[in-house]
């Protein structure tokens, strides 16, 4: 806090904005105004007493509703968890609280983070602040829309196959998927545990780097957390990319990428070249197999992770004494889960059954090895890779809802990063008909500094971050 604005003023202004636009955007499932103002007052009191305050002092932050918050309802956008109040905080929540951030609410998402549009929420879809008839992207659509609409300064999302980068691209905010293992997953409600990571969404690259610096770091409570020294990622934000070698994998432009998206990307790459980087086309030959491999792995892991929803320890329960355990379990899940969740659990179960394990699941894991090798080979030559974030501009609400395969195809540009365990950030590289187009900057594992540096330099030398959605308050 600089003292120019108090935490209470800052938080109050955000809630004012929420009152003005939230009925049209629907970024939140739960708002915590009273708690937030109390916390903001505590921060102001600390400042007035001359006490040291944290890096995020008084900053209003929205949390995706699959990240556990002690005492605050955490639903995963599902009927199954619509009354679930976690008895503990996720490690990332603990860390932002230690830095005096102010939690303002829990954001809408695709149920259990399974989706690409935030239409698959039990609580209804989030609308894109740039054009309300369009999707915000998913599954962290609420988090991205909240930041884009000015309803939050920062947000946390989770990214299993692109769920931070996709909505960040569709809503024109900065979204980063960290390297697998960099950010603790303790308290993240699991969907596909070998792929998902919590990450930041912000209005600009600096804020994104700041939030990443707070949440990253080893956590003994998470066996998938990697013990490496913590970094201040804001230190990488030099407005200088001279000498940076960029690889542009040609396959990203061969998989149904809309010509308008490709044009924006190439203009962005040319801009980076004019700023001192060099670029070269390259190849990731197995990229075309990443989408089926991703969905097979994610569905298999989902079928296992979601077995915990049995209606006994928490969550929705069909309360009928005439049903035995097996019937009550199955009926609870029929009513408690939405269609996409059921689709993935059942297909995942199929892929893991004895007769099909080798054909589907094991084969997908082997393809994952090939994709990882492709990236390793590319990173021997290049510092970063550049690709579209989404193959198409934001689409209309309802346009793909009845065609799951068409929806899955939208993840084609983001899933390879999760399969390979790399990091990726998206920044806006232009607008087409008033809709944002995202540029994905991909880095080798634990090289978040490099992708943030490229993203920051691009942002500082282009006008896109200052363009705001035409969403007026009422």
Partner 1 sequence: MRKHLSREQVRHIAWLAKVNLSKEEEELFTKQFNEILDYFKKIDELDTEKVPPTFHIIDLKNVFREDEIGPSLPIEKALLNAPRKKGNFFKAPKML
Peptide bond into 221 cis (omega under 30): no
Tell me the HSE value of 357 on the side-chain side, using a 13 A CA sphere.
4
Q: How far is the CB of 93 from partner 1 (least distance, A)?
A: 17
Please say if 163 is a catalytic residue: yes
Q: Which is nearer to partner 1, 347 or 425 (CB)?
A: 347
Closer residue to partner 1, CB minimum distance, 194 or 260: 194
Work out the widest C-alpha separation in the chain, in whole angstroms: 72
**Taking a C-beta distance cutoff of 8 angstroms, is the pair 206, 234 a contact?**
yes
Q: How far apart are CA 328 and CA 313, in angstroms?
A: 13
Per annotation, catalytic residue among 78, 140, 163, 169 = 163
Query: Of 447 and 459, which has the nearer Cβ to partner 1?
Result: 447
Among residues 198, 201, 236, the alpha carbon closest in space to that of 216 is found at 198
Annotated catalytic residue, options 77, 78, 117, 139 = 139
State the nearest-atom distance from the C-beta of 24 to partner 1, in Å.
Answer: 31
User: What residue has token string 């187009």?
Assistant: 437
Q: Would strands 384-388 and 245-249 be described as parallel, antiparallel, or unpaired?
A: parallel
Residue 192 CB, nearest approach to partner 1 (Å)? 12
Of 250 and 366, CB closest to partner 1? 366
Q: What is the DSSP letter of 285?
A: T
Helix (H) or strand (E) holding 260: helix 259-274
Minimum Å distance from CB 315 to partner 1?
7
* Residue 97 or 344 with smaller CB distance to partner 1: 344
For the CB of residue 379, give the shortest distance to partner 1 in the complex, in Å: 14
- Closest by CA position to 123, among listed 28, 23, 32: 28
Q: Specify whether the CB–CB gap between 177 and 186 falls below 8 A.
A: no
Distance (Å, whole) CA 186 – CA 93: 10
* Closer residue to partner 1 (CB): 99 or 301: 301
Q: Could you tell me the sign of the dihedral formed by the alpha carbons of 399, 402, 406, 409, in that order?
A: positive
> Would residue 396 show up in a list of annotated catalytic residues for this protein?
no
Q: How far is the CB of 363 from partner 1 (least distance, A)?
A: 5
- Looking at beta carbons only, is 108 or 303 nearer to partner 1? 303
Q: State which residue, 121 or 332, has the beta carbon closest to partner 1.
A: 332
What residues contact 399, with CB distance under 8 A and at least 6 apart? Answer: none
**Spatial distance between the Cα atoms of 349 and 168, rounded to a whole number of angstroms:** 31
The 3-state secondary structure of 184-248, one letter per residue? CCCCECCCCCCCCEEEEEECCHHHHHHHHHHHECCCCCCCCCCCCCCCCHHHHCCCCCCCCEEEE
Q: Are 286 and 302 in contact (CB under 8 A)?
A: no
Number of residues assigned to the chain: 474
Q: How far is the CB of 269 from partner 1 (least distance, A)?
A: 28
Q: Which positions lie near partner 1, rule CB under 8 A? A: 83-85, 87-88, 180-181, 194, 220, 223-224, 226, 286, 288-289, 292-293, 295-296, 303, 307, 310-317, 319, 321, 323-331, 333-334, 337, 339, 342-343, 345-350, 353, 360, 362-370, 372, 404-405, 408, 420-421
91-98 and 205-215 are packed helices; what angle lies between their axes, rounded to 10 degrees? 110
- The β-bridge relationship of strands 435-443 and 423-432 is antiparallel
The distance of closest approach from Cβ of residue 240 to partner 1 in the complex, given in angstroms and rounded to an integer, is 31
Write out the catalytic residue numbers: 64, 139, 163
């Amino acid at each position: 806090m600089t003292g120019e604005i108090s935490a209470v003023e800052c938080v109050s202004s955000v809630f004012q904005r929420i009152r003005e636009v939230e009925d049209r955007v629907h970024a939140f499932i739960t708002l915590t105004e009273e708690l937030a103002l109390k916390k903001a007052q505590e921060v102001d009191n600390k400042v007035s007493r001359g006490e040291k305050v944290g890096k995020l002092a008084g900053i209003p932050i929205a949390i995706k509703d699959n990240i556990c918050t002690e005492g605050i309802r955490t639903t995963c956008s599902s009927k199954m968890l619509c009354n679930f109040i976690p008895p503990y905080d996720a490690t990332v929540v603990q860390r932002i609280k230690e830095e005096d951030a102010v939690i303002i609410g829990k954001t809408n998402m695709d149920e259990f983070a399974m989706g690409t549009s935030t239409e698959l929420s039990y609580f209804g879809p989030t609308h894109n602040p740039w054009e309300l008839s369009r999707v915000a992207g998913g599954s962290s659509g609420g988090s991205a829309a909240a930041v884009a609409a000015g309803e939050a300064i920062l947000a946390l999302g989770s990214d299993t196959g692109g769920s931070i980068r996709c909505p960040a691209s569709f809503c024109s905010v900065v979204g980063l998927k960290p390297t697998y293992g960099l950010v603790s997953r303790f308290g993240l409600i699991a969907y596909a545990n070998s792929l998902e990571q919590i990450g930041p969404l912000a209005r600009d690259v600096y804020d994104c780097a700041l939030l990443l610096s707070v949440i990253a770091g080893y956590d003994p409570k998470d066996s998938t957390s990697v013990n490496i020294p913590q970094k201040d990622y804001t230190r990488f934000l030099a407005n200088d990319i001279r000498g940076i070698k960029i690889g542009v994998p040609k396959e990203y432009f061969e998989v149904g990428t809309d010509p308008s998206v490709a044009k924006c990307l190439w203009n962005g790459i040319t801009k980076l070249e004019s700023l001192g980087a060099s670029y070269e086309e390259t190849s990731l030959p197995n990229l075309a197999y990443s989408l089926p491999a991703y969905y097979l792995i994610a569905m298999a892991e989902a079928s296992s992770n979601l077995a915990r929803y049995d209606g006994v320890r928490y969550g929705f329960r069909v309360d009928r004494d005439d049903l035995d355990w097996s019937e009550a379990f199955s009926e609870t899940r029929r009513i408690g889960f939405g269609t996409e969740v059921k689709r993935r659990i059942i297909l995942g179960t199929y892929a893991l059954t004895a007769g099909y394990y080798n054909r589907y699941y094991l084969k997908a894991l082997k393809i994952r090895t090939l994709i990882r090798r492709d990236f390793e080979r590319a990173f021997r030559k290049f510092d970063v890779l550049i690709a579209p974030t989404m193959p198409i501009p934001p689409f209309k609400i309802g346009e793909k809802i009845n065609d799951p395969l068409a929806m899955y195809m939208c993840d084609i540009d983001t899933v390879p990063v999760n399969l390979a365990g790399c990091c990726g950030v998206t920044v806006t590289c232009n607008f087409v008909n008033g809709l944002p187009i995202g540029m994905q900057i991909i880095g080798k594992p634990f090289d978040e500094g490099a992708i943030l540096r490229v993203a920051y330099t691009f942002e500082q030398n282009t006008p896109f971050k200052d363009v705001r959605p035409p969403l007026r308050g009422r």
